Amino acid sequence: MPRTAGDVVFVDGVRTPFGKAGPNGLYAETRADDMIVSVIRELLRRNPALPPERIGEVAVAATTQTGDQGLTIGRSAAVLAGLPKSVPGYAVDRMCAGAMTAVTTAAGSIALGAAGTAIAGGVEHMGHHPMGSGVDPNPRFVSERLVDPSALVMGSTAENLHDRFPAITRERADAYALASQRKVAAAYAAGQIQPDLVPVAIRSAERGWGLATADEPPRPDTTLAALAGLKTPFRPHGRVTAGNSAGLNDGATGCVIAAADVAAELGLDARMRLVDFSFAGVDPEVMGIGPVPATEAVLARNDLTMDDIGLIEINEAFAVQVLAFLDHFKIADDDPRVNPWGGAIALGHPLASSGVRLMIQLAREFVGQLDVRYGLTTMCVGLGMGGTVLWENLNG
Which residues are identified as catalytic?
Answer: 96, 349, 380
According to DSSP, residue 16 is labeled P
Closest by CA position to 286, among listed 242, 320, 315, 316: 320
Q: Which class for 300: exposed (0-12), middle (13-18), buried (19 or more C-beta within 10 A)?
A: exposed
**Which residues are CB-contacts of 307 (< 8 A; sequence separation ≥ 6)?**
none
* Pairing, β 89-92 against β 55-61: parallel
Q: How far is the CA of 302 from the CAs of 75, 213, 285, 306, 390, in angstroms? A: 35, 40, 30, 11, 9
* Complete DSSP assignment for 304-351: --GGGEEEEEE--SBHHHHHHHHHHTT--TT-TTB-TT--HHHH---G
**Which residues are CB-contacts of 229 (< 8 A; sequence separation ≥ 6)?**
none
CA distance 28 to 244: 24
CA distance 350 to 32: 11
CA distance 3 to 35: 38
CA distance 9 to 262: 10
Angular region, 132: left φ>0, alpha ψ -120 to 50, beta rest? left
CA distance 116 to 326: 37
CA-CA-CA-CA torsion sign (344, 350, 351, 356): negative
CA distance 78 to 176: 39
* Pairing, β 249-259 against β 117-125: antiparallel
**Coil, helix or strand at residue 217:** coil
- With contact defined as beta carbons under 8 Å apart, do 28 and 54 qualify? no
